[in-house]
Structure 1
Amino acid sequence: MARTVLVGGTVVTVDADRRVLDPGAVAVDGDAIVAVGPREQVLAEHPDADRIDLADHVLLPGLVDSHGHAGHSLTKNLADGAGDDWLDLVKEIYFEATGTPFWRAEGRLAALERLRAGVTTSLSYVGSMPRVDDPRFAAAAATGYREFGLRHVVAVGPPDGLPVDCADPEAGTETTVDLDRAMATTGAVVDDLHGNADGRIQVAVAPSSLVPEMDEAGNATEASVDQLRRVTEFAEREDLAIHAHAYEGEIAAADAADPEVLTERLSLAHCAGIDSEEVALMAENGVAASHGPLTHAYAWDRFPVVEAMEQGVTVAVSTDGSAPDRSFDLLSQGRIAAQLQRAHHGDTSLLPAGRVLEAMTVDAAAALGLGDEVGSLTPGKRADVVAIDRRSAKLGPHLDTGQTVPRLVNYADGGDVSFVMADGAVRLRDGAVVAPEAPTVEAVLDDAAAAAGTALDRVDAADALEPHPDLWGAVRYGE
């Protein structure tokens, strides 16, 4: 018997039958969903359960953000996020000016933002590319997700440009990271974090790039082949997911160098510039894609989203983090993803609302290898449920159940999320955080401001907070 019944208005299950129940209810026992069905039926089957009244809401699975970066929440909009200036600055901050207080403060702020946006499962690299000189940084970055009770995948693996120099100002140490050090730290993070918080904290083996170096002919260099093989062998031995950025030519180069890496275990972020042959390789081998519509990578070169979906590639919509010029509001980015494809193809029929919602729930969960646990409101899965308050001018009027999913995808955003349950525990109620182990919102914000200011001081970059000289009147930055 269920301990709790979420008494809905409309319940969007995203289950195998894509049921939309109006009115519906979700019964929860412990950390699992035990029943989803018409409201009166579920209430009759579980008469003694505690009831949470969400009758004026739409219930749906917790959203899944399948690609992002820790660190971003403390580097938002620096240098106006203009071109390479921002990326060069944050690399310096992440690798030369941060210790565990920075990563802990940033992770708490990121977890809080994701919670408020209805994102109950997420993935983040520790840095713009993995910082793997010491496993303490990954542990610190995961702290907020554990405290707020969310599900989180820590992405850790070899960074690009090995060897990479790192400094820890708190400890007064400097470290040069080579492939051996990167893999050793990855192993230490797995030992320390994987399966923590009742399984909510997991680790993915995540090199920054699938193929970090290629020669003029587009073949993986010897160092890249060595990295590919070691990453693949480690992930298979530890039974872990693999996640990486990938751009034009990298999938083909990986296939030629070590085809064993191209499996359902692998998900790739961005995939900007890949051609039809690389899309086919993804489809044939079950490799998933995580598409960030607002990323700089997509501005430089497109990922063929529609073409990949049509060939059977699992495509998730993700945020890529909360900087330099975006947020963790995954709901709002879903409709942007759809509009960009419609504009590119000149076809407004593309990407129906249900497909967009799938890309942020069930397909995103599958991309991370978590499809059996989350992504839909299905008995047996974890009780990750969000509720959107539809009592607003933006989402009204409620006329017909058939309009529920299009209304959500086309109009709702993270600010409309008023209730979040993760792993069967209520974490947001009436828009207020309910997480006894977490610091207060005020403490999170104060610590974040202090940590960000300290990091900027260490790299002597206070000017990055000044308005860009091309803020007003110019057509582009750098004129």
Structure 2
Amino acid sequence: MIDLLLVNGVVITMDSERRILEDGAVAIHNGRIVEVGETELLRGKYEAERTIDCKHHCVLPGLIDAHGHGGHSMFKTIAMDSPSFWMPVMTHTYKHFVTDEFWYYEGKINALERLKAGITTGACVLGSMPRSDDPVFALNHAKAYAEVGVREIVCTGPCNPPWPHSFSRWVDGKRITRDVTYEEVLQGAEAVIEALNHAHDDRIRAFITPFVIVTSVNPSAPTPADQLYGLTDHDRYQAKRIREIARKYDTRIHSDAFGGMVHLAIQDKENALLGPDVHLQHCRGLSFDEARILAETGTNVSSAPGFGQVNARTPITELIELGATVAITTDGTAPAASFDMFQAMRKTQLIHQAALKDYYYLPAGKLLEMVTIDAARCVGWDDELGSLEAGKKADVITVDMRQPHLTPAFMYVHRLVHQAVASDVDNVIVDGKIVMENRNVLTVDEGLAIDEANAEAQRTVERAGLQKYMQPTKYFWGHARAYLDEKRFDPGDLV
């Protein structure tokens, strides 16, 4: 007898043949897929402890969000009216005004949003820049994810110079600040990897995550070619140390990159943070020769849709044509992004069609690959995730198609990519366990998690003095363009 049998669904396998079974079934036992086939065949072959009728549902592998952030779920929309200063405001908040418990409460709401969007695996960079001066933050975040039942890739490592860096902890309501050295931050990251990589029955993994692959240029946008002066000593030292940690713990490297960084990184061929064990997010503004380097080195790339793509596009189509693996991510959830990967697929398609002035780029099938099997390859988990195949982990979602906006019932991949939204996900299975059924979360008290997150978010806003970044401007209503017309950000606040 097997544990679970899903029957009568439109099974979109994402296997090597990209089979779509219009009356399909999935047999699951001991957390893994036993077989995928026609309903009539599998019904006659297996007796199951539980059978779920997936009539009028699409059944597909759990979505994989290869890049997002831990912490951001508490700060949605804060400071989005001051985009020039959003990063320093949020980074300072993460470094000095969040409690240890913050990461647990945020982790739970973060995991719940992903779960209810059909994301069964999500990468989380802790903070706007990674924070690893103490392992407790990652441990608390992973604990929350484990309780919800969603897979997490915890991404932590050093932020950018200068060093030492000032960080604060809150003990008995009091802020305790100390200067932390670069080596101490690396030790904290190592402690996280040692404790969490393959933890919780391998539902949690931990990657070493420097903020960017080259620290001496603009960390958030492409650097012009005439400002690429070569690698600094710290660039080379960081690459060497990150490589050492990745080898020591047999884990992967995840980081951000922008135009110019790849050109610089390859100058240190021995330790360059490039290659099949590396996954780079953003990659906006890459030159064609940099795209070629990524493809030739087998470096994995992911990209989130957003306004930044208008000014400096990630060359997704060129990378794909060159043979690179590229995933779509949400980069959620602040200041304005959500964990809705259906929207992320559509936005990605629109941006690239508009940029290239060509309607035919990024067909629906490719977009779905980029949030399932391609995303699994990006994070090095495609041996077990990303498709519905015998022997793989049973991470499965069902989408309720019997709704006006998803009717008529044909061209199912087109329907999912072009019309579905996160709230259409009905059931979620992770490791063969039903985690959400008929949109009811079965693992944790969702209402309590929301209440706890709201309370902690309010306390953090007050502690960090973020209220001024939450007020609408006088141009909020009735105007075609927003102006701030006041000075909300003061560098003196960053103390």
TM-score by length of 1: 0.96
CA distance in 2, matches of 1:68, 1:146: 17
Cα shift at 1:74: 0.5
CA separation in 2, counterparts of 1:61 and 1:394?
A: 22
Quick check: 1:374 aligned with 2:385?
yes
Q: Deviations over 1:348-369 (max 9, x none)?
A: 1111101000000000010001
Aligned to 1:354: 365
Q: State the match for 1:455 in structure 2.
A: 460
1:179 and 1:227 in contact (8 A); partners too: no
1:115/1:150 contact within 8 Å kept: yes
The DSSP-based 3-state class of the residue aligned with 1:406 is helix
Aligned runs of 1:56-71 on 2, under 5 Å? 56-71=56-71
The answer on 1:342 being equivalent to 2:353 is yes
Tell me the residue number matched to 2:303.
291
Q: State the partner residue of 2:395.
A: 384
1:400-479 equivalences under 5 Å are 400=410, 403-435=411-443, 438=444, 440-472=445-477, 473-478=479-484
Q: CA deviation at 1:86?
A: 2.4
Q: Matches of 2:171 and 2:475 in 1, distance apart?
A: 36
2:319 pairs with 1:318: no
1:198 aligned residue: 201
Secondary structure of 2:403's partner?
coil
Residue matched to 1:282:
294
Q: Does 1:111 align with 2:111?
A: yes
* Structure 1 partner of 2:170: 169
What letter is aligned with 1:193? L
Which one of 257, 277, 280 corresponds to residue 246 of structure 1? 257
Q: Are the structure 2 counterparts of residues 80 and 468 from structure 1 closer, same or farther at C-alpha, using a change threshold of 3 Å?
A: farther
Instruction: Show structure 1 runs of 5+ residues with no match.
Output: none
Task: State whether residues 162 and 178 of structure 1, in contact with CA within 8 Å, keep that contact through their aligned partners in structure 2.
Answer: no
Q: Distance in 1 between matches of 2:453 and 2:81?
A: 19
Partner AA of 1:186 in structure 2: A
Contact 2:399 2:426 in 1 (8 A): yes
For residue 77 of structure 1, what is the aligned residue in structure 2?
77
How big is the alpha-carbon RMSD for the aligned residues of Structure 1 and Structure 2? 1.5
CA contact (8 A) 1:319 1:333 kept: yes
Q: Decide whether the 8 Å contact of 1:9 with 1:55 is kept in 2.
A: yes
In 1, Cα distance between equivalents of 2:374 and 2:233: 34
What TM-score results when the alignment is normalised by the length of structure 2? 0.92
Residue 493 of structure 2 corresponds to which residue in structure 1?
none
Q: 1:48 to 1:416 in 2, by over 3 A?
A: closer
Bigger Cα displacement from structure 2, 313-322 vs 170-179 = 170-179
Deviations 1:86-122 (A, max 9, x none): 2222112111101211111111111000000000001
Change (3 A) 1:370 1:48: closer
Q: Which moved more, 1:415-424 or 1:189-198?
A: 189-198
Q: State whether residues 130 and 207 of structure 1, in contact with CA within 8 Å, keep that contact through their aligned partners in structure 2.
A: yes
For residues 24-39 of structure 1, the aligned pairs below 5 Å read 24-39=24-39
Query: Percent identical across equivalent pairs?
Result: 35
1:17 match: 17
Cα distance change, pair 304–476 in 1 and its aligned pair in 2 (3 A): farther
Aligned equivalent of 1:273: 285
Aligned length: 472
Residues 140-181 of structure 1 show CA distances to partners (whole Å, capped at 9, x for unaligned) of 122221001111100011111242211012364323233201
2:216 to 213, 216, 226: 213
- What is the letter of the counterpart of residue 71 of structure 1? G
Displacement after TM superposition at 1:477 (Å): 4.0
In 1, are the aligned partners of 2:5 and 2:48 still within 8 Å (CA)?
no
Q: Report the Cα distance in structure 1 between the residues aligned to 2:389 and 2:328, rounded to whole angstroms.
A: 21
Match of 2:191 among 172, 188, 192: 188
SS state of the match for residue 405, structure 2? Answer: coil
Q: Give 1:374 deviation, angstroms.
A: 0.5
Determine if contact 2:78/2:469 at 8 Å carries over to the other structure: yes
Query: Are 1:388 and 1:416, in contact at CA under 8 Å, matched by a contact in 2?
Result: yes
Distance in structure 1 (CA, Å) of the matches to 2:122 and 2:308: 20
Indicate conservation of the 8 Å contact 1:79/1:467, yes or no: no
Quote how far apart the aligned CAs of 1:454 are: 1.2
Aligned residue identity for 1:174:
T
Question: What is the rounded CA distance, in whole Å, between the counterparts of 1:477 and 1:257 in structure 2?
Answer: 44
> Is 2:88 the counterpart of 1:88?
yes
**How much has 1:410 moved relative to structure 2?**
0.6
Residue of structure 2 aligned with 1:178, choices 178, 181, 188: 181
In structure 2, the gaps of 5 or more residues are 218-225, 486-495
**Are the aligned partners of 1:32 and 1:381 in contact in 2 as well (CA < 8 Å)?**
yes
Deviates more, 1:315-324 or 1:43-52: 43-52
Q: Sort the Cα spacing of 1:299 and 1:179 in 2 relative to 1 into closer, same or farther, 3 A.
A: farther
**Map of 2:491 onto structure 1:** none
Q: Offset at 1:382?
A: 0.5
Aligned-residue offset at 1:81: 4.6
How far 1:12 sits from its partner (Å)?
Answer: 0.3
SS, match of residue 56 in structure 2 = strand
How far residue 230 of structure 1 moved from its aligned partner, in angstroms, is 0.5
Give the match for residue 396 of structure 1.
407
The equivalent of 2:149 in structure 1 is: 149
Deviates more, 1:450-459 or 1:52-61: 450-459
Equivalent residues of 1:288, 1:314 under 8 A apart: yes
Evaluate the alpha carbon distance shift between residue 147 and residue 25 of structure 1 in structure 2; reply closer, same or farther with a 3 A threshold: same
Q: CA deviation at 1:328?
A: 0.5
